[in-house]
């Protein structure tokens, strides 16, 4: 379903439909994370990806046109870049341990340390919370800062679009008056 939704996002020319399919993709991703027992990541994906992002895209869409303009450039070079990047990413994962492997470095080095010592060191009974709030506190703060900066950036873009549309309307009114 994720692949079909991704293809729909790329193929649809209606920007409203693209925004809706992007929200659906985020919800499907959140469901995948739940199946993979990453409920915290699923919650973040549902809230940010399907919730806030969809609302911001629809808000931006209210200030722009409804349909995508046809591209005049050839898609060959971007497609080549995508395939080369995808090939490099796949090559980079070939020596990784299999998914869920009990002898993966995270399972034999980091996870036992967190499970054994988090309650004594942090005094938080939930291991996931202790990892996110304390052991990875700076990382979580960084992620929060990135999401905040993205939201501020979208708000600035929306305010800039509103001013530009008002300027265009003023120019159109002056042109009609002449």
Q: Say whether pLDDT at 65 is over 80.
A: no
Q: What is the pLDDT of residues 122-132, one digit of tens each?
A: 888 888 888 77
Distance of alpha carbon 136 from alpha carbon 56, whole angstroms: 29
All residues at 6 or more sequence positions from 135 whose CB lies less than 8 Å from its CB, including other chains: 114, 118, 122
- DSSP per residue, 19-49: HHHHHHHHHHHHHHHHHTT-HHHHHHIIIII
pLDDT band at 173 (very low <50, low <70, confident <90, very high): low
3-state secondary structure of 63: coil
Question: What rounded mean pLDDT belongs to the chain?
Answer: 82
Query: Which parts of the chain fold into alpha helices (H)?
Result: 2-11, 15-35, 39-44, 53-61, 76-92, 105, 111-122, 127-130, 137-177
Higher pLDDT, 36 or 167: 36
**Which class for 79: exposed (0-12), middle (13-18), buried (19 or more C-beta within 10 A)?**
exposed
pLDDT band at 29 (very low <50, low <70, confident <90, very high): very high
Q: What is the pLDDT of residues 91-144, one digit of tens each?
A: 999 988 888 888 888 788 878 888 888 888 888 888 888 877 777 777 778 877
Q: Say whether pLDDT at 176 is over 70.
A: no
Q: For residue 178, what pLDDT is reported?
A: 59
Distance of alpha carbon 80 from alpha carbon 119, whole angstroms: 50
The domain segmentation of the chain, as residue ranges, is 1-68
Q: Say whether pLDDT at 26 is over 80.
A: yes
All residues at 6 or more sequence positions from 112 whose CB lies less than 8 Å from its CB, including other chains: none
Q: What percent of the chain has pLDDT over 70?
A: 89
Q: Say whether pLDDT at 33 is over 70.
A: yes
């Amino acid at each position: 379903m994720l692949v079909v939704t991704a293809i729909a996002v790329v193929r649809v020319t209606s920007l409203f439909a693209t925004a809706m399919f992007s929200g659906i993709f985020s919800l499907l991703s959140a469901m995948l994370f739940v199946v993979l027992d990453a409920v915290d990541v699923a919650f973040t994906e549902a809230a940010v990806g399907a919730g806030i992002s969809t609302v911001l895209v629809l808000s931006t869409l209210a200030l722009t046109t409804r349909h995508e303009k046809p591209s005049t450039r050839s898609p060959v070079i971007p497609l080549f870049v995508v395939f080369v990047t995808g090939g490099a990413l796949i090559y980079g994962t070939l020596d990784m341990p299999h998914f869920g492997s009990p002898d993966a470095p995270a399972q034999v080095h980091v996870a036992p340390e967190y499970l054994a010592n988090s309650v004594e060191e942090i005094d938080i009974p939930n291991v996931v919370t202790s990892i996110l709030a304390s052991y990875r506190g700076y990382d979580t703060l960084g992620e929060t800062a990135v999401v905040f900066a993205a939201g501020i950036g979208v708000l600035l873009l929306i305010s800039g679009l509103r001013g530009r549309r008002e300027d265009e309307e003023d120019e159109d009114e002056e042109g009609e008056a002449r």
